[in-house]
Amino acid sequence: RVSSDGKPPKFQPPPKPVIIDRKTQKEQSRFLSPEFIPPRGRTDPLKYYIERKDMIQRRKVFNIPEFYVGHVLAVTTANPHTSDKSNRFVGICIQRGGKGLGATFVLRNVIEDQGVEICYELYSPRIQAIEVLRLEKRLDENLMYLRDALPEYSTFDVNMKPAPRMDHEEIPVNKLQVRMKPKPWSKRWERPKYNIKGIKFELPERKMQAAQKWSQPWLEFDMLREYDTSKIEEKIRKELSEELGK
């Protein structure tokens, strides 16, 4: 800075040190199941409050573990038509949909060369147990492209043992790039609309650039689509921790 009087410049005190508190950071990154976050709409918030009370009630009786898309789960459901009245299915979670009590998750596995996908409801009373066998997140939140990938990526051993979990902190992200069957696929996964990072595209460069024609770069700047859930999430986390702590 140019000094006004020819005197040495005014003493600027050094900036204050920023203290990052490890404990509060840990609490902030705690997991909130996505079906608790209410969608944007004109419904009365009382409806979501009452649904949440029911969901908390069910969670008190039956443990729904924390899981993401990409985890390998084993689900036992009650089935009146089998001899031991229960049915166990192991698979990788490819999608978590729905909000509130109707929340669902889809498990996929390949059994005897036949791909099988089952859509379970999280809060259905017929589910007797959910076990997490392998904990790993993937690069995408929707793994529907496994239908067009080679079957080796969707096969999981039915009698798999639960992998031992080391820390109670981070869930590892598997940066696996999946190889696909030859085209045609069920959806054009190379298009920017799906924004898939977990496929190893072996298509020629020309086709990849032609797919970019359908990109909509203005979407990320569209302010009307922004839905800031941070405050809603905080309130719901507080409510959950109070209720489940009781």
Partner 1 sequence: MMPIWTKSGEKHAVTLLKVQDCHVLRYVSKEESGGKTAKLLVGGKNVSPFSKPESAHEIFKEAGVPRKQKVTTFNVTEDAIIKPGTPLYAAHFRPGQFVDVTAKTIGKGFQGVMKRWGFKGQPASHGQTKTHRRPGAISTNKAAKVYRGKKMPGKMGNIYRTSFGLKVWRINTKHDIIYVNGSVPGHTNCLVKVKDSKLPTYKDCNKNPPFPTFFADGDEELPEDLFDEEIFQFTDPSVTFA
State how beta strands 173-174 and 137-138 pair.
parallel
Q: Is 79 in the site for partner 1 (CB under 8 A)?
A: yes
State CA 50 to chain mean position distance: 24
Interacting residue with partner 1 among 39, 65, 97, 102 (CB under 8 A): 102
Q: Is 39 in the site for partner 1 (CB under 8 A)?
A: no
Q: Is 46 in the site for partner 1 (CB under 8 A)?
A: yes
Nearer to partner 1, 122 or 196 (CB): 122
b/e burial code for range 4-28 (CB count within 10 A of at least 16 → b):
eeeeeeeeeeeeeeeeeeeeeeeee
Q: Which residues from 120-179 bind partner 1, rule CB under 8 A? A: 121, 123-128
Contacts by 25-28, CB closer than 8 A, 24 or more apart: 26/169
At 63, give phi and psi (nearest 5°).
-80, 115
Nearer to partner 1, 79 or 177 (CB): 79
Name the one range near partner 1 by CB under 8 A: 76-84, 89-97, 112-120, 155-163: 76-84
CB of 162 to partner 1, least distance (A): 20
Name the one range near partner 1 by CB under 8 A: 4-12, 88-96, 100-108, 219-227: 100-108
Torsion angle, CA of 107/108/109/114, rounded to 10 degrees?
A: 130
Cβ atoms of 72 and 145 within 8 Å: the answer is: no
Interacting residue with partner 1 among 2, 19, 20, 61 (CB under 8 A): 61
CA distance 229 to 205: 38
Residues that bind partner 1 (CB under 8 A): 41-44, 46-47, 50-51, 54, 57-58, 61-62, 78-80, 85-86, 100-102, 121, 123-128
